[in-house]
């Protein structure tokens, strides 16, 4: 599995190959949300823009938007989350992924944090 990248909005991104990435929310984010009860995902083929809303996550505490950490076209969505939204809580960087994108601009990846940088970032929030 390749290295994860992170956004300040608590999304993770895994580069699957030169043009495809998988996106979800971090363990930190799912803990802040509490028990996830619903996930609204975009349509396949939909264009998403960096830092704009790409999906909605609802928990027992609140609703939150998943911001796209990069721009691209939705190639695949995790339909498992329709029936089992709790996967976001139990396996946020595995079965709890949200969507796969075809990257528009690989240079946007350089603006994301490494795991070490993200760990420092969230420790400063405590």
Task: Establish if 121 belongs to a structural domain.
Answer: no
pLDDT reported for residue 28: 96
Q: Residue 78 belongs to what domain range?
A: 4-107
pLDDT reported for residue 115: 94
Taking only the tens place, the pLDDT of each residue in 24-75 is 999 999 999 999 999 999 999 999 999 999 999 999 988 999 999 999 999 9
Count of domains for the chain: 1
Task: Establish if 47 belongs to a structural domain.
Answer: yes
pLDDT band at residue 85 under the 50/70/90 scheme: very high
What does pTM read for this prediction?
A: 0.94
pLDDT reported for residue 124: 86
What CATH number has the domain bearing residue 89?
2.40.50.100
Task: Establish if 84 belongs to a structural domain.
Answer: yes
DSSP per-residue codes, the chain: -PPEEE-TTSEEEEE-SSSEEEEEE-HHHHHHH-SEEEEE-PPTT-EE-TTSEEEEEEESS-EEEEEPSS-EEEEEE-THHHH-TTHHHH-TTTTT--EEEEES-GGGGGGSBPHHHHHHHHHTT-
């Amino acid at each position: 599995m390749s290295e994860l990248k992170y956004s300040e909005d608590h999304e993770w991104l895994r580069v699957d190959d030169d043009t495809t990435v998988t996106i979800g929310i971090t363990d930190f984010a799912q803990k802040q949300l509490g028990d996830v009860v619903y996930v609204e995902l975009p349509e396949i083929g939909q264009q998403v823009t960096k830092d704009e809303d790409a999906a909605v996550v609802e928990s027992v505490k609140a609703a939150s938007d998943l911001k796209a950490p990069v721009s691209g076209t939705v190639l695949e969505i995790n339909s498992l989350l329709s029936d089992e939204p709790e996967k976001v809580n139990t396996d946020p960087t595995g079965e709890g992924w949200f969507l796969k994108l075809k990257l528009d601009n690989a240079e946007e990846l350089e603006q994301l944090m490494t795991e070490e940088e993200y760990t420092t970032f969230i420790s400063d929030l405590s």
